[in-house]
């Protein structure tokens, strides 16, 4: 949204914006109530979703957050809570590019460095989307789906 607004500001400098250049703004404004509702639900449940995801992963593999001799559960939980928050923000502002460029590409480096691909696939490819589906209405899911798909495609195997 912000990048598109900035682009429109620059490209329409010295003239009125054409009707087709305003379509993204109409589309965004038509979905803003849905986006706010979804954001508020995710904000209220984000920490609980992270706890449930980690509990499911630990039930499947009690040592899934162990690297070497250390348990990294708290670090992984913190990162998951951040990812959920950033995903909700990306959905709210329709800013997939910022999410990709400012978080996901960096986080993919961490995932690969710690050989976390299987866990990331479980988290971002299966568990988080399933929880979001339970939490949100179909209309809210529609605006959240692009963010979930982007996260899964970058962080999963």
12 in a domain, yes or no?
no
Q: How does residue 6 score in pLDDT terms, banded at 50, 70 and 90?
A: confident
Number of domains observed in the structure of the chain: 1
Q: 60 phi and psi, to 5 degrees?
A: -75, -35
8 in a domain, yes or no?
no
pLDDT given at position 13: 84
Give tens-digit pLDDT for 37-67. Answer: 999 999 999 999 999 999 999 999 998 888 8
Residue 45's domain comprises 32-155
Give the containing element (helix H, strand E) for 71. strand 70-71
pLDDT exceeds 90 at position 115: no
25 in a domain, yes or no?
no
49 in a domain, yes or no?
yes
pLDDT given at position 11: 80
Residue 54 CA to residue 48 CA, distance in Å, equals: 10
Residue 29 CA to residue 64 CA, distance in Å, equals: 42
106 in a domain, yes or no?
yes
pLDDT given at position 76: 92
pLDDT given at position 3: 78
9 in a domain, yes or no?
no
pLDDT given at position 24: 85
pLDDT exceeds 80 at position 8: no
Give tens-digit pLDDT for 118-145. Answer: 899 999 999 999 999 999 999 999 999 9
Rounded (5°) CA angle 132-37-96: 65
Give tens-digit pLDDT for 19-33. Answer: 888 888 899 999 999
Q: Do 122 and 57 contact (CB within 8 A), yes or no?
A: yes
Q: 134 phi and psi, to 5 degrees?
A: -70, -35
26 in a domain, yes or no?
no
Give tens-digit pLDDT for 54-109. Answer: 999 999 999 888 888 899 899 999 999 999 999 999 999 999 999 999 999 999 99
Name 67's bridge partners.
Answer: 70
């Amino acid at each position: 949204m912000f990048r598109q607004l900035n682009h429109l500001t620059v490209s329409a400098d010295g003239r009125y914006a054409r009707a087709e250049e305003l379509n993204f703004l109409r589309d965004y404004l038509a979905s803003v109530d849905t986006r706010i509702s979804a954001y508020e639900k995710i904000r209220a449940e984000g920490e609980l979703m992270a706890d449930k995801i980690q509990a499911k992963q630990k039930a499947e593999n009690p040592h899934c957050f162990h690297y070497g001799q250390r348990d990294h559960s708290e670090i992984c939980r913190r990162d998951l809570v951040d990812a959920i928050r950033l995903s909700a923000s990306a959905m709210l502002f329709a800013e997939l590019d910022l999410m990709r460029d400012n978080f996901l590409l960096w986080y993919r480096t961490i995932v690969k460095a710690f050989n976390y691909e299987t866990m990331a696939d479980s988290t971002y490819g299966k568990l988080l989307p399933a929880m979001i589906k339970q939490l949100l209405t179909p209309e809210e899911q529609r605006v959240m789906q692009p963010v979930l798909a982007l996260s899964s495609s970058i962080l999963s195997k």
